[in-house]
Amino acid sequence: MRTNEQILDRMAEDLMLRGLATRTQQTYLTCSRLFLNWGGCPAETMDEENIRAYLNHLITKKELSASTVNIYSSALRFLFAITLGRNLNYRKIPRLKQGRKLPEILTRSEIVRIFNHASTLRNKAVLMTVYGAGLRLSEVCKLKVGDIDSESMCIFVCGKGNKDRYTLLSQTNLEVLREYWKSYNPVHPDGWLFLNADGSKQVHWRTIETAFSSAAQHAGISKKVSLHTLRHCFATHLLEDGADIYRIKQLLGHSSIQSTTVYLHLQTNFISELVSPLDTISKNAGKQAEGGGC
C-alpha cells in the first residue's frame, strides 16, 4: 500500500500532466494534504463517507464559504477519481449551492488614486497593466517583453488553461511601461517583463497582491477589494462606455458568455437615465388631485 506522501507525489504529477494552472495545482495539493492529515489514515482505505465527513467539518467547524468548500470538493474528487482511480458515487458528495454575490467595483477616480499611491514605478506599471488590459494575476506575472505590441496597440496574453488571446494596450499604459523600462531596464534571459527585486526571475504573484493592497490602503479605499477587482473594473467600465459584451468576453478570455454577463449587473451609469415608477405615479397622482373630480 502506498503512503499518503507517495499518493500526493503522484497527484502532483497527474495535475501537471493535465496542464492545470499552477495555482490550481498548488491549491488542490494543499486541500488534499489537509484532508489526509485530518483523516489520519491511508488514502487508499478512505471513501465517500470520509469525504462527506470532512466537508461537513469544513462547513460546521471551520465555517468556510460555499465557494471554498467546493474547491476542497473538487480537489478531493480529483484525488480519488484520477490519482486513486476510484469510481465515486457523486450523489453522496453533493456540491454546495453558491449564491451570487456581486463583487465590489471601484470608481475611476478611486482607481487613479490607487495608481498614484503605488510604492514604486514597477508596481504602478503592473497595476495599470492589470486594469488597462483586464488581466488576471497569473497573466500579468507571465507577461514577456515581446508580448507588448506597441504598433498594433495590443497585448498578447498566455491565459488561464493555456488559452492564448489578445487584449487592449492603452496608450497611457504604454507610456508608463516605457518609463518603467527606462528606469528598471528589466533584461532577463526568459524575457519576463516584470521582475522581482533583484531581477533574477519574474515577479511573484504575492508581491503584486501586496503592492495592490498597500496602494489601496494608502489611497484610503475602504471597499473590500483585491487585485482581481481591477479586472472586474476593466470589464464594467468598458461596458459603461458602450463596448459590446461579446467583445469584452474575448478580451477577458472567458470560455462562456455567462461568465461575462455578470458585468451587466455591475454597471450603474444607466440607472441615472431612468425614472423610478414611484416618481411617475406620484406626479400623476398630483395632477389628478389638481384636476379634481368629474
Q: Which residues participate in catalysis according to the annotation? A: 136, 160, 228, 231, 254, 263
Alpha-helix runs per DSSP H in 164-204: 171-184
Residue 57 · residue 40 · CB < 8 Å:
no
d(CA 201, CA 188): 7
Length of the chain: 294
* 87: Cα separation from own chain's centroid: 32
Q: What is the DSSP letter of 149?
A: E
Q: By C-alpha distance, which of 101, 46, 92, 45 is closest to 73?
A: 92
Torsion of CA 86, 91, 95, 96, to 10 degrees: -150
**Amino acid identity for residue 224 in this structure:** K
Whether 161 and 19 have beta carbons less than 8 Å apart is answered as yes
Cα distances from 53 to residues 59, 67, 119, 238, in angstroms, run: 10, 18, 46, 45
